[in-house]
Homo-oligomer: A and B are copies of this chain.
Amino acid sequence: MIEATARVLASKGAAGVSVRAICAEAGVSPGLLRHYFAGVSDAIADTYRIIGRQIAEALEIAVEMAGPDPRARLIAYITASFRAPIADPQLLSSYVALWSLSRSDPEVARVRAEVYRDFRSGLELLIRAWRPELPDLRLPAIALTALIDGLWLELSLGDAPFTPEEAEMLAEKWLDCVIA
């Protein structure tokens, strides 16, 4: 059901998501959504939570596969957003819709705040492991998050052609620039 919600979010956008659309996508009766969720808003928030957790797990795996070097681990964390399984067209589309919904739906907004707090705290942890002497990690973390989100946006809305490799190169360059 949550997978169906993500698919509807990706295909029909924030304006097209509805109880009936989700249940039709899941191949079940329209009434079933309210057996699992308090409402459509709750279903969307849970979908956001699941997606956020999947991304966090993918990031964790990418960091572990990078080995012991602190800088390599940090770069892996940043560039994993442009590799599978995170760099997925459907996931990016869902994300844009969720951004929009989080502006009008307080429940979605709360989940978004959680997801971003976790992402940024993971980022700050890795930066601190690499450069323990840096006093303030707030602005670098914000800057890196902004670039990643901006590149995701361009990938999803898709009129600015660039490759994942270029995105990774840019992210790495931005890291060196914003940390130095």
Interface residues of A (CB under 8 A from B): 11-17, 93, 96-97, 99-105, 109, 112-113, 116-117, 120, 138-139, 142-143, 145-151, 153-154, 156-157, 159-162, 166, 170, 173-174, 176-178
Chain B residues lying within 8 Å of A151, measured Cβ to Cβ, are 146, 150
Q: How many copies does the complex hold?
A: 2
- Nearest B residue (CB) for A177: B177
- Nearest B residue (CB) for A113: B159
Alpha-carbon distance A100/B120, docked complex (angstroms): 24
Q: Interface on chain A toward B: helix, strand, loop, or mixed SS?
A: helix
* Contact call B139/A103, Cβ cutoff below 8 A: no
9 sampled A-B residue pairs with Cβ under 8 A: A12-B104, A14-B101, A93-B103, A96-B100, A139-B166, A147-B150, A149-B150, A153-B153, A174-B177
* Contact call A99/B146, Cβ cutoff below 8 A: no
Least Cβ distance of A89 to chain B in Å? 11
